[in-house]
Amino acid sequence: MEPGADRRYVITFSCPDRTGIVARISGFLAELGGWIVEAAYHASDNWFFTRQAVRADSVPFGVDELRARFAEVAEEFGPDATWRVTDTGTPKHAVLLVTTEPHCLHDLLGRIAAGELPVTLDAVIGNHDTLAPLVQAHGVPFHHVPFPGAEDPKREQGKVASFEKVRQIVDGFEPDAIVLARFMQILPAHLCEEWAGRAINIHHSFLPSFMGARPYHQAHQRGVKLIGATCHYATADLDAGPIIEQDVIRVDHGDTVATMVRRGRDIERLVLARGLRWHLEDRVLVHGNKTVVFH
Amino acid sequence: MEPGADRRYVITFSCPDRTGIVARISGFLAELGGWIVEAAYHASDNWFFTRQAVRADSVPFGVDELRARFAEVAEEFGPDATWRVTDTGTPKHAVLLVTTEPHCLHDLLGRIAAGELPVTLDAVIGNHDTLAPLVQAHGVPFHHVPFPGAEDPKREQGKVASFEKVRQIVDGFEPDAIVLARFMQILPAHLCEEWAGRAINIHHSFLPSFMGARPYHQAHQRGVKLIGATCHYATADLDAGPIIEQDVIRVDHGDTVATMVRRGRDIERLVLARGLRWHLEDRVLVHGNKTVVFH
Amino acid sequence: MEPGADRRYVITFSCPDRTGIVARISGFLAELGGWIVEAAYHASDNWFFTRQAVRADSVPFGVDELRARFAEVAEEFGPDATWRVTDTGTPKHAVLLVTTEPHCLHDLLGRIAAGELPVTLDAVIGNHDTLAPLVQAHGVPFHHVPFPGAEDPKREQGKVASFEKVRQIVDGFEPDAIVLARFMQILPAHLCEEWAGRAINIHHSFLPSFMGARPYHQAHQRGVKLIGATCHYATADLDAGPIIEQDVIRVDHGDTVATMVRRGRDIERLVLARGLRWHLEDRVLVHGNKTVVFH
Amino acid sequence: MEPGADRRYVITFSCPDRTGIVARISGFLAELGGWIVEAAYHASDNWFFTRQAVRADSVPFGVDELRARFAEVAEEFGPDATWRVTDTGTPKHAVLLVTTEPHCLHDLLGRIAAGELPVTLDAVIGNHDTLAPLVQAHGVPFHHVPFPGAEDPKREQGKVASFEKVRQIVDGFEPDAIVLARFMQILPAHLCEEWAGRAINIHHSFLPSFMGARPYHQAHQRGVKLIGATCHYATADLDAGPIIEQDVIRVDHGDTVATMVRRGRDIERLVLARGLRWHLEDRVLVHGNKTVVFH
């Protein structure tokens, strides 16, 4: 394959459903000579969604010009249409938030090092510093932002200050993804809002079962026969944001909370890695509290 | 295999945990010359559980004598020990409760007809009669017990009377399993109690998610990426009884409630069939609100 | 939903890949005012595939006229383009071939009776007659076509004559699907050819593992930890035709051949039902020895 | 939990099947006051297998004395009985063999660092040195043993010499597990023999499908709908040794060889990690070319 032959321009678009949308968009691309390598459509609840990937070398100009031209097409579909045009030749950026659990961090670092995930990791922020050496060994800057403990009399104020520091670091990178890789602090509402559609959380249960704290304890208590994990966009409503991906594994009566925790990690790692990949590849379109995932 | 070589005596036993239980039980069986073909143990929360299957032709007497002798062993472990000795040569009996959804009924009838499930089906009871022909085509008696509709002014009294009729029919058979095969009526508390450990329900969600009515609508609303089914013992606490088996299948944004309903049936059928099989084979031991399933 | 609002015209189309195909087809549909409810595309190995489903009530004429008009579009893409236009308002027809194993037959009859599969079952043909009562209880004609046994000195001639009878019955219905639902006879090459793309087989292994006879014995012998089933188009090359669907379940050292056979049935049923559904819904496009399945 | 309360003595034992084995072993343990926390039994093909885990602090002496006493019990069951008594307080040791693919190595290093796998990693040996920095960053010695390339005229002699170096390094550690973590060299027969039951390979297909080279290419060519991985003991018969664990994931027509390779890594990692854990926990008993896995 010649250099750049796998570079794509990716268009995502959604608007109120009606006839002729596919024809308009594909006609637009055909006029440019755009070679479509992936095209997916979906319509539900009177809303239309599409994702198109075209070979960059089939379009006679760059992504900025394509964006400008597509803006005119999108405008025809009214003020509710939302869209994005990205270039896989421009790497996405991410920041990770962690506490002390290493497994998701470790997995993502490994995938990024192996070139498996199309992302540049700008920084890892931890409210503890135990994971700093691991991060730095991968050549990634680690920022330690301590959070006040449960016994701190000024805990609430302290948290506000800590989150403000986190926000400053994160926003300095303008990242495409802010990944809560087992970050054991609840994101305040204003950050959920500011980072809407970019803050990705991994919750260690098959939501909506076992929301909140200690989901494996809850699962053990209830005696379920499968445990799971959920990758979702963080919203102000805890553990209730749009779900990107979920998966489960089988447990049985022989599993303790400890073995559930250990075995659940395998699912957390996979579900987060898949959800993050789809997000970075512009495969996830959010509509209301649900997602369309074109994978 | 000579006739009867696959006949088993099955012992299930549980009691407060301590040392020497395995030795006592296996010693007891060894003295009899009992040929153990399956043996499973489990201990958790200071409780001990076991299931043993021995070749019937290796024991020098019948199941009644074995039961009498084992009773003496069990007594050594105190008043909290619970146990059962069954003979796979004596078929288990079941009664099915249905409404109008045919898929679980049809699946169970097919499995029983093919000799896949070790059970005699004594009767099917329906609060509608639409499934009667299917049942009768399999040579199984169908009992129609109408229930008062939502508009009936004396609905509560009517339900009491209907459930009393159901109870009489069921109890006439003394069944080992009362299967709620998509029976769309909530079992009253006194029947849950009377049939404790024998009334088996299939719920069309991955509990504890989406308890109660219309779980597929709830799942669609929430935008989950997997849907499931749960087979559990019915208790007075709706959809909260001990879970025997669960499973899930993948759905995506393209699924409507209608396709979830259709695709969910495949999981409901499988989960109910597995749960019922394990119950009939004495593989399920209930402890508190959880199960130990030796499969 | 008004009557008929869920009736669709389904277009499948494939041809050598180039730019502008999507635009041409979607432009064609847009001109007609066609309301696309499902659209899927795929390109690989320089070949392009698509499936489009449009609301029948959005097109101002019937399927014949649509077919005639689409033929002109298809022609633009050269002699290698293959396509089909079908109407979900015209039910598909199927014939089943069986031997004595009832589980797949039973499952399909149940699904068809429950309206789960969009097909009219014209006949079941058995080389034994044991399944006749079950078939007839569903109001479906059963044709018994005996095949010569292993000891028959004129076995080969007898098989030729039996297959000729089968062919005559099948071809009398011009079915869209000829389903080998655990039919334990190898289809001769000329029938594979005549019924290419319509003869659907269920093989009781995860192909290409364990081709040929007694796959569960082979699986047990090898000590695999998962067993599976494969739904594929029958071709002259035994168990090597284009695969439509596969799935697996977990087994372990405790499984005997007999329990593998029993547990494998659950997967055979599901895999065949899914594969057949996709075939009937025109979701399967065959290219060389592989399939594109738009589900 | 008091220190050491989770330390176990693990007994595995197998012999020709007969009555009274369970009683003898559990009686032996009961006499010692051994508190059994896990006990599993299996019998097939006239062979008996068991694994028992007892609390170390419930036995009045150390593992050497237990081993000596159990030897006498084992002897009663004839010369074909094989057994082992291990102490979870004595860590197992492993050596890893790698080439250039980092994903399995990286996953195992992460699990070991997180205390998820009960093993001490003594060394990693690579026939290339590209993975050395990653290994050394975890504080594990890396040994580079180059192998002659395909163009080397004295390739066969060179391989013999290289394998001899590998053997010397490995045998210097007397490891409990020699893990071929995507080691792209075929182990010679004499090393398979010497390391029988200790050399663990991960093969990137669902064996016995796609043995040998480039299994993802083979899978893509065949058009299978699931790809898998197999963890097995290495034997002189390539890719045909006793299978410890297998798993699969779904692929479809949209997958290229490259995406199969990427997605297959998720299964390779998991299957190898599970298989290795079970091996290290003495859960895997080999009999002929099959395994009994007590998990």
How close, in Å, is residue B180 to chain A by CA atoms? Answer: 20
Q: Chain A interface, mutation test: which of D37, D99, D103, most A Cβ atoms within 10 Å?
A: D103
Instruction: Enumerate the active-site residues of B.
Output: 239
- Whether residue A29 lies within 8 A of chain C, CB to CB, comes out as yes
* B22: chain D residues, CB-CB within 8 Å: 22, 26, 29-30, 36, 39
Contact between A23 and C24 using a beta-carbon 8 Å cutoff: no
Name D290's Cβ contacts closer than 8 Å, sequence gap at least 6.
Answer: C222, C223, C253, D242, D243
Contact between C103 and B113 using a beta-carbon 8 Å cutoff: no
C-alpha to C-alpha distance for B21 and B29, rounded to whole angstroms: 12
Contact between D34 and B19 using a beta-carbon 8 Å cutoff: yes
Does D239 participate in catalysis according to the annotation?
yes
- Whether residue C43 lies within 8 A of chain A, CB to CB, comes out as yes
- Whether residue B42 lies within 8 A of chain A, CB to CB, comes out as yes
Contact between A270 and D266 using a beta-carbon 8 Å cutoff: yes
Give me the catalytic one of D107, D176, D239, D255. Answer: D239
CA A135 to chain centre: 20
How close, in Å, is residue B101 to chain C by CA atoms? Answer: 9
- Whether residue D217 lies within 8 A of chain C, CB to CB, comes out as no
User: Tokens 């026969």 correspond to what residue?
Assistant: A225
pLDDT of residue D23: 86
Q: Which phi and psi (to 5°) does residue D58 adopt?
A: -95, -10
E strand residue ranges, A163-239: 177-180, 199-203, 226-233
Whole-angstrom CA distances from D114 to A104, D7, D111, D118 are: 11, 19, 5, 10
pLDDT of residue B269: 96
C-alpha to C-alpha distance for C243 and D251, rounded to whole angstroms: 12
The yes-or-no verdict on residue D26 having pLDDT over 90 is no
Query: Tell me: the pLDDT tens digits for A46-86?
Result: 999 999 999 999 999 999 999 999 999 999 999 999 999 99
C-alpha to C-alpha distance for B196 and A135, rounded to whole angstroms: 54
How is residue D11 written in tokens?
């007994």
C115-144 average pLDDT score: 95
- Whether residue B107 lies within 8 A of chain C, CB to CB, comes out as yes
Contact between A102 and D110 using a beta-carbon 8 Å cutoff: yes
Contact between C103 and B114 using a beta-carbon 8 Å cutoff: yes
Q: Mean pLDDT for chain C? A: 94
Q: Which residues pair with C143 in a beta bridge?
A: C125
Closest chain B residue to A224 measured between Cα atoms? Answer: B243
* D247: chain C residues, CB-CB within 8 Å: 226
Query: Tell me: the pLDDT tens digits for C39-54?
Result: 899 998 899 999 999 9
Closest chain A residue to C55 measured between Cα atoms? Answer: A19
Domains (range + CATH), chain B: 8-87 (3.30.70.260), 92-293 (3.40.50.170)
- Whether residue B151 lies within 8 A of chain A, CB to CB, comes out as no
Number of H helices, E strands in chain A: 8, 13
Q: If pLDDT is split at 50, 70 and 90, which confidence band does C26 have?
A: confident
C-alpha to C-alpha distance for C159 and C164, rounded to whole angstroms: 8
pLDDT of residue C19: 84
User: Tokens 């699946």 correspond to what residue?
Assistant: B107
- Whether residue A42 lies within 8 A of chain B, CB to CB, comes out as yes
A25-36 average pLDDT score: 90
C-alpha to C-alpha distance for C64 and C189, rounded to whole angstroms: 33
pLDDT of residue D134: 87
Contact indicator for C95, C173 with CB cutoff of 8 Å: yes
Q: Please name the residues between 166 and 185 in chain C that touch chain B, using a CB distance below 8 Å.
A: none
C251-276 average pLDDT score: 96
Contact indicator for C82, C14 with CB cutoff of 8 Å: yes
The yes-or-no verdict on residue D133 having pLDDT over 50 is yes
The low-confidence residues of chain B, meaning pLDDT below 70, are 1-4
* DSSP class per residue in D151-188: T-TTHHHHHHHHHHHHHHHHHHH--SEEEESS--SPPP
Contact between B34 and D26 using a beta-carbon 8 Å cutoff: no
Residue A261 is given by DSSP the state: H
Q: If pLDDT is split at 50, 70 and 90, which confidence band does A2 have?
A: very low
D167-195 average pLDDT score: 97
Q: Count residue pairs from A and C with Cβ separation < 8 A.
A: 56
pLDDT of residue C268: 98
**Residue with the larger pLDDT of the pair A1 and D234:** D234
Name B224's Cβ contacts closer than 8 Å, sequence gap at least 6.
Answer: A207, A208, A243, A246, B209, B251
* A38: chain D residues, CB-CB within 8 Å: 254
Q: If pLDDT is split at 50, 70 and 90, which confidence band does D114 have?
A: confident
pLDDT of residue A218: 97
Contact between A224 and B242 using a beta-carbon 8 Å cutoff: no
C-alpha to C-alpha distance for A217 and B112, rounded to whole angstroms: 39
pLDDT of residue B2: 45
Q: Count residue pairs from B and C with Cβ separation < 8 A.
A: 36
Give the helix, strand, coil percentages of chain A, each rounded to 5. 35, 30, 35
C-alpha to C-alpha distance for A280 and A176, rounded to whole angstroms: 8
Name C177's Cβ contacts closer than 8 Å, sequence gap at least 6.
Answer: C92, C93, C94, C95, C119, C198, C200, C276, C279, C280
Q: Chain B interface, mutation test: which of C51, C111, C135, most B Cβ atoms within 10 Å?
A: C111
Contact between B26 and D22 using a beta-carbon 8 Å cutoff: yes
Report strand pairing: B290-293 vs B243-250.
Answer: unpaired
- Whether residue C122 lies within 8 A of chain B, CB to CB, comes out as no
* C232: chain D residues, CB-CB within 8 Å: none
pLDDT of residue D19: 84
Q: If pLDDT is split at 50, 70 and 90, which confidence band does A221 have?
A: very high
Least confident of B38-42, C85-89, C126-130, D267-271: B38-42
Instruction: Tell me which residue of C207, C197, C195 sits closest to C238, measured CA to CA.
Output: C207
B contact chains, 3+ CB pairs < 8 A: A, C, D
C-alpha to C-alpha distance for D264 and C207, rounded to whole angstroms: 18
Q: Chain D interface, mutation test: which of C51, C206, C224, C225, most D Cβ atoms within 10 Å?
A: C225
pLDDT of residue C1: 38
pLDDT of residue B3: 45
Contact between D223 and C206 using a beta-carbon 8 Å cutoff: no
Query: Tell me: the pLDDT tens digits for A258-294?
Result: 999 999 999 999 999 999 999 999 999 999 999 999 9
C contact chains, 3+ CB pairs < 8 A: A, B, D
Report strand pairing: D290-293 vs D284-287.
Answer: antiparallel
Q: Chain C interface, mutation test: which of A25, A26, A76, most C Cβ atoms within 10 Å?
A: A26
Query: Tell me: the pLDDT tens digits for D229-260?
Result: 999 999 999 999 999 999 999 999 999 999 99
C-alpha to C-alpha distance for B232 and B223, rounded to whole angstroms: 25
C89-100 average pLDDT score: 96
pLDDT of residue D288: 94
- Whether residue D33 lies within 8 A of chain B, CB to CB, comes out as yes
* A30: chain C residues, CB-CB within 8 Å: 19-20, 22-24
Q: Which amino acid, C102?
A: P
CA D40 to chain centre: 20
Contact indicator for C63, C9 with CB cutoff of 8 Å: yes
- Whether residue A226 lies within 8 A of chain B, CB to CB, comes out as yes
pLDDT of residue D4: 65
- Whether residue A272 lies within 8 A of chain B, CB to CB, comes out as no
What b/e readout covers A199-235, taking b as 16+ CB neighbours within 10 angstroms? bbbbbbbbbbbbeeeebbebbbebbbbbbbbbbbbbb
A124-149 average pLDDT score: 95
C-alpha to C-alpha distance for A286 and A57, rounded to whole angstroms: 29
Contact between C110 and B116 using a beta-carbon 8 Å cutoff: no
- Whether residue C223 lies within 8 A of chain D, CB to CB, comes out as yes
Compare CB distances from B41 to D29, D39, D43 and report the shortest one's residue. D39
* A58: chain C residues, CB-CB within 8 Å: 19
Compare CB distances from D110 to A38, A106, A254 and report the shortest one's residue. A106
CA C85 to chain centre: 17
- Whether residue D223 lies within 8 A of chain C, CB to CB, comes out as yes
Give me the catalytic one of C107, C239, C255, C282. Answer: C239
Contact between A19 and C40 using a beta-carbon 8 Å cutoff: no
pLDDT of residue D1: 38
Q: Which phi and psi (to 5°) does residue D34 adopt?
A: -65, 130
- Whether residue C279 lies within 8 A of chain B, CB to CB, comes out as no
